[in-house]
Structure 1
Amino acid sequence: MPSNVLVVDDDREIRKLITIYLENEGIRSVGAETASEAITLLERESFDLVILDIMMPEMNGIEACMRIREERNMPIIMVSAKSADMDKIQGLASGADDYVTKPFHPLELMARVKSQLRRYTKYNDQNRSDTPVIELDGLKINTATRQVMARGREVRLTPKEFDILSLLAKNKGTVMSIRKIYESVWKEDFFKSDSTVMVHITKIREKIELDPKQPIYIKTIWGVGYKI
């Protein structure tokens, strides 16, 4: 069954271009001109990934991403003409899994789409029963169903947040460098100035820790990286 992607952009020509490339890859797509229209479509139909423009009238992409993340964990790729580090950080902090700057090469976007879909499909296979549940003093991580329970309550993580948490949990006690985490989760070369991992760690702590400023699960090893 082909993957289903929601393309949200108020520029009709960009939606059309992305749709053409998705269809060439055998991926079904549905377009939305506004964030409000996208929210409505998500309530009616199941999607495997969302390509979301930031600069849109009425509700912008940041607000839309936060709304989507309240109930859904499919990958979200943000596209924006804003290329500053703080804009990227804001996009990732709102729950996006990737950030692509306009103008972008369509083939690069397709590579990122396929990478996200591969991970999402692989780790959301409900039939996988051979993967153990990792339990860490009140934190339960089910890598088969991608569910996380913290002190008895379910925690909703984005796909990237889950991948980072499960990576650290599987390597409990081992300090993982930022480079190692990034290259293991994103499957891309790490750039020294990239703050992507830090942003995601912050969001994970906000969701699983009683006090994110004094974490008991994910510890920062200054100058090295992170560990559980």
Structure 2
Amino acid sequence: MKARLLLVEDDPEIARVVRDMLKRENYEVTWATTGLEGWEDFQSTSYDLVLVDLMLPEMDGLSLCKNIRWKSNVPIIIISARKEDEDKVEGLQLGADDYLAKPFSLIELKARIESLLRRWRRYEGKQFSEQKTEYVDGLTVFWDEQKVVMQCKEIPLTAKEFAILKVLLQNPNRIFSKSELYQHVWKQADADGLHTVTVHIRSLREKLEDPVKKPRFIRTVWGRGYQFIGEQK
């Protein structure tokens, strides 16, 4: 197989045409019909490129792009019937690498996929796996082990606490709303669990001994959400 692609498209006619073309080109293709299904597929399997429609049920394409970009630098191509410049700009600002308006040529789509995959493979070849990251004030994160150490003492975090901390750490100084954190960590499109996020943030702060009024790691931006402010060594 050339590469493994994720196609997130709710129009079955378009999806089948694109999927069949890609399979003829020897790509392995997973087809998701909703944004939430696409997000779940992305988290369960490693992909080389993602094709995303904007107007999707359960989770819209822009939210899906944002979630994927929090987790990975994998190439993203938006394919959408919405041709407004605002949609294109927003999609690219959220991390998409390319934007193709419907109706589009399969030949053009194929060329753009091949171009992005070439760049992605060059990028991957230059990367190396970081086993751990150290921060000022004694915080060390061991990524492969999902372990957090504070002042040489391991901090027992739950899976959800580590997942929240990971999102914040990998996007330093970016402000995440409770809704965004809930959507990303609990993998649900609605925001019914905002209190749950508050509880987990409070628990994280207690374990890291990080006071709300004088934070070293997690700052509350009132009315907006949370951001990681720790300084990496």
TM-score (norm 1): 0.56
Once residues 31 and 96 of structure 1 are traced to their aligned partners in structure 2, the CA distance between those partners, rounded to angstroms, is 19
Is 2:44 the partner of 1:44? yes
Residue 76 (structure 1) shift = 0.3
Aligned to 2:28: 28
Code of the residue aligned with 2:71 in structure 1: it is E
One-letter code of the match for 1:9?
A: E
Question: How many angstroms apart in 2 are the aligned matches of 1:9 and 1:92?
Answer: 18
The code of the aligned residue for 2:87 comes to: D
Q: Structure 1 residue 56: deviation in Å?
A: 1.0
The equivalent of 2:127 in structure 1 is: 145
- What residue identity is the alignment partner of 1:113? I
1:112-158 CA-partner distances (Å, limit 9, x unpaired) = 01111111112202xxxxxxxxxxxxxxxxxx21799xx979866xx
Deviations 1:151-203 (A, max 9, x none): 979866xxxxxxxxxxxxxxxxxxxxxxxxxxxxxxxxxxxxxxxxxxxxxxx
What are the within-5 Å matches in structure 2 for residues 16-165 of structure 1? 16-125=16-125, 144-145=126-127
How many residue pairs get aligned? The number is 139
C-alpha separation in 2, matches of 1:52 and 1:89: 15
For 1:7, what is the secondary structure of its paired residue?
strand
Whether the 8 Å contact between 2:2 and 2:28 is mirrored in structure 1 is yes
Contact 1:123 1:146 in 2 (8 A): no
Structure 2 counterpart of 1:46, one-letter code? S
Task: Say if 1:85 and 1:23 are closer, same or farther in 2 by CA, change over 3 A.
Answer: same
Distance in 1 between the 2:135 and 2:51 partners?
Answer: 33
Q: Where does structure 1 lack aligned partners over 5 or more consecutive residues?
A: 126-143, 157-209, 211-228
Q: Is the 8 A contact 2:34 2:57 kept in 1?
A: yes
Does structure 1 retain, via aligned residues, the 8 Å contact 2:5–2:48?
yes
- The verdict on how the C-alpha distance between 1:55 and 1:146 changes in structure 2, with shifts beyond 3 A counting, is farther
**In structure 2, what is the Cα distance between the partners aligned to 1:72 and 1:15?**
24
1:169-188 paired onto structure 2 within 5 Å: none
Deviation at 1:58, TM superposition (A): 2.1
Cα distance in 1 for partners of 2:38, 2:94 equals 17
Match of 2:5 in 1: 5
**What percentage of aligned pairs have identical amino acids?**
39
Residue 71 of structure 2 aligns to a residue whose secondary structure is coil
Whether the 8 Å contact between 1:34 and 1:56 is mirrored in structure 2 is yes
Equivalent residue letter for 1:55: M
| 1:41-87 residue CA offsets vs partner (Å, 9 max, x unmatched) | 11211100000000112210001110111111100000111112111
Which contiguous aligned blocks of 4+ residues in structure 1 show a shift greater than 2 angstroms? 151-156
Cα distance in 1 for residues equivalent to 2:64 and 2:22: 22
| CA separation of 1:102 and 1:146: change in aligned 2, threshold 3 A | farther
What is the rounded CA distance, in whole Å, between the counterparts of 2:170 and 2:112 in structure 1? Answer: 26
Cα 1:17–1:146 change in 2 (3 A) is farther
TM-score (norm 2): 0.55
The amino acid of 1:91's aligned partner reads G
